[in-house]
Amino acid sequence: MPYLVEQLLQGKPEPLCALPQEAVREALQKMLENDYSQLPVVEEKGKNKYIKGIIRYKDIVQSMLHLELSLADLQVVDAMLTTPRLYYLDDDLFDLLDALQEHNAVLIADREKVLLGIITTWDVMAYFRTRSEDLMRIEDIESTIKELIRNACTNADGNLDEKVLKHCIADITRKQRDSNEKPPEFEELTLSQYIHLLLHSHIWDKIRPVFGNNREILRKNLDDIREIRNLLTHFRDEPTAQQRQKIQIFNDWLNRRVQTWQSDQRHPENLLQYLDGRQIFSTDRPETSAAPLSGENQATVEAGCPPEIEVAEAEGNRNRYAALADWLQNRPDDVEQVNMTFNQIEEIIQSALPASAYRHRAWWANDSVAHSHSRQWLEAGWRTSFINLDEQRVEFTRIRERKELYIRFFNRLMDALEKKSDFPLEKTRPQGQSWLVVKRLPCSICKGGTIAFVFSFSRDRRFRTELYIDAGDQALSKNIFDRLYAHQQTLEDELGKLCWERLDHRRASRIAIYQTVHIQETDNHDQLIEWAVNTMPRFYRAFAPLVEAALRELSK
């Protein structure tokens, strides 16, 4: 079903009009009092108003300028546009857009040119905003449902039990697929299937404390929401005011239920941290509350061992949330959770969060497909685990599965590289970060920091062999980088194309060779390890003497 003009006129009052012989001063007064920029001009015959034209601010000014008449002398007939294009109730709204862009308003009539209404650019914006807000609230509801399901299927170690989740999905979709057809993945489910999954006996037993014994009431309300969603997304009909109110009231109710249940738990600042008396995250892991980024409380944020490699993916990244991902990725490896206010996030990204972040839980959903902002923190190895819109607070938790992938991959890589007799490997134990230092270079003139050869996964789905240059001082780091860059041609003749990342707004710089691959693409790990083991010794032999020479020159 198209968006019809008729839908925009529903509930609108009869338009304010001007008459042809009316003084322009009076018409202008109506516009000013009602904050209108135009008025339909009509001839009244009984109850009907026949369209004669439209009068706008622009028309009034042009008439005064070219006719050399004063405002007191002008009548509406002197300034009105007599041939406005008319539109009808059954017209598609999109057919009006060009005219609205040019004139800001269009007149709606019947076939006899009787005025039925006026539609402005603001009306169209308000219409689509209402529909968007309805869909956003429904997305809020769906996001909460999905988070409840995931947490109900989370084991005592804090990892998602894929086996249990897949079993429940297979159970609820059995009647909808052939016996030999593979069940859909969790992210492929429909809203109807998410509802059935939430109410599956295994999952319901875990989330019963959230809703009490209101299982059938919950089912009825969720089915109503699903029907309204279908109206909005399939254009079958326009939701009524009562249905729109239902979306808002149910979304608020669902949030209150989750937060009320949450406040009764032992650790109220963790979304669904305890389910049915079961703790998801063990208490022996340190937590971090994000203190102000400047001032005496900064030590609270930096608890644990400081990272020796500072992740700086945000440099040159047009996504402003890359800075937040950098900040998260640079948390010490023993910090599992970070609790932040929205204001603290805004300080990190140096920009205001959008209004939807303050109003809709769905904005914070861990969606790597539809949300470019959440893709940033997911690729950094973190996910949102708690959102409190009332307190404007969010909690991020490390993705355990990602951390374990890094540990397994880098352990295998270290074992393979150790067998290379021509590389002076520093044997270290991977901690679950996205990077691993394999060789540091001594630096007597450095003021802290690290100059090291590193393997690292970037957030843009790439893996790199790199020389990381952080001399503890920005000017010194850039000086070392520039001295190496002077040998660019020789180095690239030997190693191939290099990425020279000076990172002018960071203390550190890097020089790297990239491969396009993601840590979760485990089928490619063997090939990637082979590439890394063959590349790093050549990379080290080419750069190490040049770095040592640069340090000797600078020490003089």
pLDDT tens-digit series, residues 310-324: 666 655 556 789 999
pLDDT, tens digit (0-9, with 9 covering 90-100), for 514-524: 999 999 999 99
Q: Measured between alpha carbons, how far is 135 from 333 in angstroms, rounded to an integer? A: 38
Stretch among 204-208, 312-316, 348-352, 532-536 having the lowest mean pLDDT? 312-316
Residue 501 phi/psi, 5-degree rounding, is: -110, 90
What secondary structure does DSSP assign to 367-385, as a single string?
-TTT-HHHHHHHHTTEEEE
For residue 2, what pLDDT is reported?
60
Length of the chain in residues, anyone?
556
**CB-based contact 285:334 (threshold 8 Å):** yes
Strands 435-440 and 450-458: antiparallel
Stretch among 200-209, 379-388, 489-498, 543-552 having the lowest mean pLDDT? 379-388
Task: Look at residue 273 and tell me whether its pLDDT is greater than 60.
Answer: no
**CB-based contact 299:352 (threshold 8 Å):** no
Q: Backbone dihedral region of 27: left (phi > 0), alpha (psi from -120 to 50 degrees) or beta? A: alpha
Helix or strand or coil: residue 101? helix
Q: With residue 109 as reference, give the H or E element that holds it.
A: strand 105-109
- Closest alpha carbon to 517 in 398, 409, 362: 409
- Closest alpha carbon to 390 in 268, 279, 277, 293: 268
Q: Measured between alpha carbons, how far is 97 from 321 in angstroms, rounded to an integer? A: 33
pLDDT, tens digit (0-9, with 9 covering 90-100), for 491-506: 999 999 999 999 998 8
Q: Measured between alpha carbons, how far is 219 from 11 in angstroms, rounded to an integer? A: 32
241 by Cβ neighbours in 10 Å (0-12 / 13-18 / 19+) ranks as exposed
pLDDT band at 307; cut points 50, 70, 90: low
pLDDT band at 304; cut points 50, 70, 90: very low
pLDDT > 70 in the chain, percent: 89
For residue 235, what pLDDT is reported?
65
For residue 302, what pLDDT is reported?
32
Report domain extents, the chain. Answer: 5-113, 130-275, 285-398, 402-555
Q: Measured between alpha carbons, how far is 417 from 506 in angstroms, rounded to an integer? A: 30
**Crossing angle, helix 241-263 and helix 121-152, to 10 degrees?**
40
pLDDT band at 147; cut points 50, 70, 90: confident
For residue 205, what pLDDT is reported?
92
Q: Measured between alpha carbons, how far is 144 from 251 in angstroms, rounded to an integer? A: 9
**CB-based contact 439:452 (threshold 8 Å):** yes
C-alpha distance across the termini of the chain, in Å: 77
- Closest alpha carbon to 402 in 282, 521, 281, 278: 521
Residue 353 phi/psi, 5-degree rounding, is: -70, 150
Helix or strand or coil: residue 211? helix
For residue 292, what pLDDT is reported?
42
Stretch among 170-174, 192-196, 302-306 having the lowest mean pLDDT? 302-306
The two three-digit tokens of residue 517, written as one number: 């691959």
79 by Cβ neighbours in 10 Å (0-12 / 13-18 / 19+) ranks as buried
Q: Measured between alpha carbons, how far is 379 from 104 in angstroms, rounded to an integer? A: 44
pLDDT, tens digit (0-9, with 9 covering 90-100), for 280-297: 333 333 344 444 444 333
The two three-digit tokens of residue 230, written as one number: 């279908």
**CB-based contact 451:440 (threshold 8 Å):** yes
The two three-digit tokens of residue 286, written as one number: 């340190």
For residue 272, what pLDDT is reported?
42
312 by Cβ neighbours in 10 Å (0-12 / 13-18 / 19+) ranks as buried
Q: Measured between alpha carbons, how far is 423 from 418 in angstroms, rounded to an integer? A: 8
Residue 51 phi/psi, 5-degree rounding, is: -70, 125
Chain centre to alpha carbon of residue 233 = 21
Q: Measured between alpha carbons, how far is 228 from 237 in angstroms, rounded to an integer? A: 9
The two three-digit tokens of residue 293, written as one number: 């980024």
CATH class of 5-113: alpha beta
The two three-digit tokens of residue 540, written as one number: 């080290």
Mean pLDDT of the chain: 86
Residue 207 phi/psi, 5-degree rounding, is: -105, 5
**CB-based contact 289:339 (threshold 8 Å):** yes
Contacts 24+ apart (CB under 8 A), 520-523: 520/402, 520/405, 522/405
Q: Measured between alpha carbons, how far is 554 from 160 in angstroms, rounded to an integer? A: 52
Specify the residue for token string 């539609």.
119
pLDDT, tens digit (0-9, with 9 covering 90-100), for 239-257: 888 999 999 999 999 988 8
Contacts 24+ apart (CB under 8 A), 346-355: 347/292, 347/293, 348/293, 348/323, 348/324, 349/320, 349/321, 349/323, 349/324, 350/320, 350/323, 351/320
Strands 86-87 and 105-109: parallel
**CB-based contact 143:385 (threshold 8 Å):** no
For residue 172, what pLDDT is reported?
92
Helix or strand or coil: residue 538? helix
Q: With residue 287 as reference, give the H or E element that holds it.
A: strand 287-289
The CA–CA distances, whole Å, from 99 to 17, 54, 121 equal 20, 14, 10
pLDDT band at 16; cut points 50, 70, 90: very high
Give ∠ CA 53-56-60 in degrees, rounded to 5: 105
pLDDT, tens digit (0-9, with 9 covering 90-100), for 204-235: 999 998 988 889 999 999 999 999 999 888 76
What secondary structure does DSSP assign to 314-354, as a single string?
TTT-S-TTHHHHHHHHTS-TT--EEEEEHHHHHHHHTSPPP
**CB-based contact 516:499 (threshold 8 Å):** no
For residue 265, what pLDDT is reported?
56
